[in-house]
Amino acid sequence: QVQLVESGGGLVQAGGSLRLSCAASGRTPSLNTMAWFRQAPGKEREFVASINWSGRSTNYADSVKGRFTISGDNSKNTVTLQMTSLKSEDTAAYYCVADQSFVLSTRIAAYGYWGQGTQVTVSS
């Protein structure tokens, strides 16, 4: 099994920055892709960004391109999401996810491991 624990959420003013971190433990050598999803109140869960350990490829949702940066260290089994120029519409619970696949999928069902989530609130 794999456990994912997120940290770094909080309250920030619009235009500000926040950094989320996720640490994986357990059967981590089996992980090849890690990603972030988010869910705002009353909305469906959506893809934010992903990274895989093969070539360090990344993928971003159009809504966060140019503002968010995903990075990771597979030797330490950690992934971070640096968020800048935050907007009120970025307010959501952010979930760290992981899977054995190398595919940078945007689908929820593609990821077998999920963290508990961390809340990000952007005030306008």
Span 34-74, pLDDT tens digits: 999 999 999 999 999 999 987 689 999 999 999 999 999 88
Q: CA–CA separation, 88 vs 96, rounded Å?
A: 20
**Amino acid in the structure at residue 42:** G
The whole-number pLDDT of residue 85 equals 98
Per-residue pLDDT band for 89 (boundaries 50, 70, 90) equals: very high
Give residue for tokens 């890690």: 34
- With contact defined as beta carbons under 8 Å apart, do 105 and 121 qualify? no
Say how far apart CA 99 and CA 37 lie, in whole Å.
Answer: 13
- Torsion over CA: 85, 91, 93, 99 (sign): negative
The pLDDT-based confidence of 28 (bands split at 50, 70, 90) is: confident
